Amino acid sequence: MGLRTRIDQATLISRALWLMAVEKVETGIVFNWMSPELRSDPYPFYERLRRTDPFHRCRNADGWVLSRYTDVLAVLRDPSFSADERNHPRHPQLVARLRRAGLRDAYDADRGSMLRLDPPTHTRLRALVSKAFTPRAIERMRPRIEAILKEVLEGCAARGAIELVSELAAPLPLRVIAEMLGIPGEDHARFRALSNEVVRNIGDASSEDRRASERAGAELDAYFEPFIDERRRSPRDDLISALAAAEEGGERLKRNELLSVLTLLLVAGNETTTNLISNATLALLRNPGELELLRREPARIRPAVEELLRYDGPVQMTSRFTTADTEIAGRRLRRGEMVVLLLGSANRDPAVFPEGDRLDVTRRDVRHLGFGLGIHFCLGAQLARLEAGLALEALIGRFPRLALRPQKIAWSANPVLRGPKALFLEL
Ligand code: HEM
């Protein structure tokens, strides 16, 4: 690490500590998204925030933190809020720091992720991707998902134990999306490693994390390039072919846009679905009455996935930026301000979900925000629901004595994506 990068990092840390002290004095509560307590159990903090300071000024993030359901919903639905990080007041500083560290901005050369773009570019990309990533293409994966689950669980049943994350929850979504894209089986392990590296730039990433993410991104591009050429010449029945051919209003995806979409599909659904399967299994094992109910009435498992997404969702937060002076929850915001939306907190808000901190698999009409809402609503929601529903049906249906081994659970270090690093179960 160069001297300049080290000075940058030391300056950032001391600045963050100072700003947290200011925030504490100003509001009595500090939103420190890197604190270990927030990773292992953010919900008591969310409860305090909703009750005492639902429109919280976070000095360190230089933005507003919204924790109540109605406020989060209002921003997600409001087209005047932007998802484009170039509208963040600190974006120019970030870009300058990246350049000093020899890194590029995620928006360079048409490589901005759809997740972080606004209309009209977002509309065009989303329409093109939706042509390839269809409900039919997803439903067609059902027998493959069942076969993968059977293969994995048969191996573990013989041992009477499983480490759920590495043996089932992580490989399943990776294999499914890789197969949908048309990536050969022998490359799946390498893809898993690269997709883990690419997401290291999410949230408050260090230069080192960003560098690793950029390296992995370049490796993924180099891998995808010949596939794109090959599928353009002789299309097959897979997503790479469908995306390469997708056309909307006479327009196709540019090459860099196509690479960006392929990377997004690969990474957006992996750690998230892994965490859904792991968080859901853990929640049920910690609430044996609910687990028992699903065991007795397996038809309830599919709808219960929505409650499990609400109760402990894989994506805890997202952000938006104001593009004009505006008002939200009776508060005035100036142009160019950031709002952090705590999806995980909105989903526990008792104003919308009575006894929100209680897991209740019979809860009806669970309008959670775990997949976001509005124009960026998760494109992979149906696939994630299918994979998690089938995984839970297989685990619950097959293992009547499923139990948690005594263990201290270590949680992901990523403040946006919540899930255990490992989960040891008796079968
Ligand atoms: C349980 C699993 C998943 C969760 C909790 C989840 C959550 C989310 C959330 C919250 C957003 C919106 C973020 C925002 O508004 O800022 C999103 C967007 C997105 N998700 Fe997912 N996701 C999951 C699985 C998947 C899968 C399996 C795929 C695809 C294979 C996928 C692809 C996408 C894409 C492409 C977007 C961007 C959509 C857009 O910008 O229009 N996700 N997801």
**For position 110, what pLDDT does the model report?**
72
Q: Rounded CA gap, 404 and 281, in Å?
A: 9
pLDDT digits 0-9 by tens, 349-363 = 999 999 999 999 999
Single-letter amino acid code for the residue at 328: I
Tell me the CA distances in angstroms from 240 to 180, 250, 271, 299, 358, one per residue in order. 8, 19, 21, 35, 42
Give the strand order in the sheet containing 424-426.
161-163, 424-426, 403-404
Q: Whose CA is nearest to atom 34 of ligand 1?
A: 379
Residue 189 has pLDDT above 70, yes or no: yes
pLDDT digits 0-9 by tens, 3-38 = 766 776 777 778 888 888 888 888 888 899 888 889
**For position 120, what pLDDT does the model report?**
94
Q: Whose CA is nearest to atom 13 of ligand 1?
A: 372
Q: Which ligand 1 atom is at minimum distance from the Cα of 115?
A: 40
Structure tokens at 12: 């950032």
- How many Å lie between the centroid of ligand 1 and the Cα of residue 116? 12
Structure tokens at 397: 């249906």
pLDDT digits 0-9 by tens, 87-121 = 987 888 888 887 887 777 777 767 788 999 999 99
User: Among residues of the chain, what percentage have pLDDT more than 90?
Assistant: 66
Q: How many CB atoms sit inside 10 A of residue 250's CB?
A: 5
- How many Å lie between the centroid of ligand 1 and the Cα of residue 242? 20
Residue from 215, 134, 212, 195 nearest 417 by CA = 195
List residues near ligand 1 (CB under 6 A): 83, 114-115, 126, 177, 264-265, 268-269, 272-273, 276, 313-315, 318, 370-372, 376, 378-380, 383-384
DSSP assigned state of 331: E
Residue 82 has pLDDT above 80, yes or no: yes
Give the SS3 label for residue 235. Answer: coil
Residue 188 has pLDDT above 70, yes or no: yes
Tell me the CA distances in angstroms from 208 to 97, 139, 192, one per residue in order. 12, 39, 20
Position 321 confidence tier, pLDDT thresholds 50, 70, 90: very high
Contact present, 173 and 269 (Cβ < 8 Å): yes
Residue 2 has pLDDT above 80, yes or no: no
Average the pLDDT over each of 150-159, 258-267, 293-302 and give the range with the smallest value: 258-267
Q: Which ligand 1 atom is at minimum distance from the Cα of 372?
A: 10
Q: Whose CA is nearest to atom 6 of ligand 1?
A: 371
Q: Rounded CA gap, 68 and 87, in Å?
A: 24
Query: How many alpha carbons fall within 13 Å on the CB side of residue 420?
Result: 21
Tell me the CA distances in angstroms from 409 to 179, 271, 369, 422, 423, one per residue in order. 31, 17, 25, 7, 7
Termini Cα distance of the chain: 46
Residue 208 has pLDDT above 70, yes or no: yes
Contact present, 119 and 230 (Cβ < 8 Å): no
Give the SS3 label for residue 66. Answer: strand
Q: Rounded CA gap, 412 and 212, in Å?
A: 17
Q: Whose CA is nearest to atom 31 of ligand 1?
A: 380
Give the strand order in the sheet containing 317-322.
55-58, 63-66, 338-342, 317-322, 81-82
Q: Which of 131, 378, 379 to mutate to test the pocket of ligand 1 (most atoms within 8 A of CB)?
A: 378
Q: Which ligand 1 atom is at minimum distance from the Cα of 320?
A: 16
Query: How many alpha carbons fall within 13 Å on the CB side of residue 427?
Result: 18
Question: Does residue 226 have a cis bond before it (omega within 30 degrees)?
Answer: no
**For position 1, what pLDDT does the model report?**
59
Q: Which of 73, 366, 379 to mutate to test the pocket of ligand 1 (most atoms within 8 A of CB)?
A: 379
Q: Which of 81, 124, 371 to mutate to test the pocket of ligand 1 (most atoms within 8 A of CB)?
A: 371
Give helix then strand counts, H and E, for the chain: 19, 12
pTM for the full model? 0.93
**For position 212, what pLDDT does the model report?**
86
Query: How many angstroms separate the most distant Cα atoms in the chain?
Result: 64
Burial of 327 (0-12, 13-18, 19+ CB in 10 A): exposed
Q: Show the DSSP H helices in 90-141 as ranges.
A: 91-100, 121-132, 135-139
Tell me the CA distances in angstroms from 61 to 221, 322, 339, 359, 372, one per residue in order. 31, 15, 9, 31, 21
Single-letter amino acid code for the residue at 225: E
Q: Which ligand 1 atom is at minimum distance from the Cα of 180?
A: 30
